[in-house]
Amino acid sequence: MSFTITGTGSYLPGKVVTNDDLTAFLDTSDEWISTRTGIRARHVAAQETVTDMAVAAARAALEDSGSTPEQVDLILCATLAGEYITPSLGCMVQKELGAHCPAYDLNAACSGFLYALDAAAGYFARGRVKKVLVICAEAMTRLMDWTDRSTCVLFGDGAAAAVLEPGEDLLSIHLSAAGNNDALCIPHVNGNCPYSGYDRGPASLMMNGQEVYKFAVSAMSKGVEKVAEEAGISLEDIALVVPHQANMRILEAARKKLGMPAEKIASNIDQCGNTSAASLPILLDQLSRQGRLKKGDLLALTAFGGGLTTGACILRWAKEKK
């Protein structure tokens, strides 16, 4: 037994920052950003906490599935950082929802949703749960160096959630990691220990764009091929690829490697940017609510992220078209 997705939800902050808005303090332009990334705007959590966004997405997913917090057996939160090192974001969401179940966080950066799905599948296989709430929430704009135009223009904030229940709709899944802190990293904040001689550097994202690009294109295309083969399907059987939203050039290069038509690659990067772990499930929820997913569709989910991590799966969509 694996699971089926019975509900999805997402939350995007109300504040929208366009590329033109960024020109007020960055040496950039809408053309420079959009032609290199496909991004034209992103949502910024000006007032919301990560917990606020996670709870809003969770409530939307529970409502979509016809579930209550009291029915949830496990909460898994994929995030780079909540408000606290401890308590976890999962525990904060549990508190705000009024749930009464175990809750914890996992960090696989932008691959977090797929890592959480795989973890959840293990609980279902052991018969330990009947309803799992998976949440991905990120405030990436708070982890940026806003003087670095090569990175700060890429990211946005948001959250998404999915309710999982017993089923057989996860047909295959594959995760991988290749430890690397040179391609992409975010150092932790420094404390004030008088005995520490270790300087972690600024607590903001640093990225080698060319190295990440090469890794991402290969990881995303090979990931889809691998899980399709493991599921016993062809690429032609896939109704839609739902990828992590990092950069339109990456998506286009991966699409060409797969030999798939453009209409089979879903994207919302133009209005959301890269929201790390939240990007794939935000897109999934939007596709569902737009009526673009039909019951029985075979979806390929694929992602890569800091770590470096990768994940891909073949998922049968079981919800009726909205």
Active site residues: 110, 244, 274
Q: What is the CA radius of gyration of the chain?
A: 19
Q: What angle do CA 71, 74, 80 make, to 5 degrees?
A: 135
DSSP β-bridge partners for residue 136: 78, 160
Residue 59 burial (C-beta neighbours within 10 Å; 0-12, 13-18, 19+): middle
Query: Which whole-number Å values give the CA distances from 230 to 107, 123, 191, 221, 224, in the listed order?
Result: 26, 21, 46, 15, 10
Q: Which two tokens stand for residue 93?
A: 């969401």
Q: Which residues contact 82 (CB under 8 A, 6 or more apart)?
A: 50, 51, 54, 88, 89, 92, 105, 137
What would you measure as the largest C-alpha separation in the chain, in angstroms?
60
Q: What angle do CA 109, 299, 69 make, to 5 degrees?
A: 65
Q: Say how far apart CA 279 and CA 158 lie, in whole Å.
A: 8
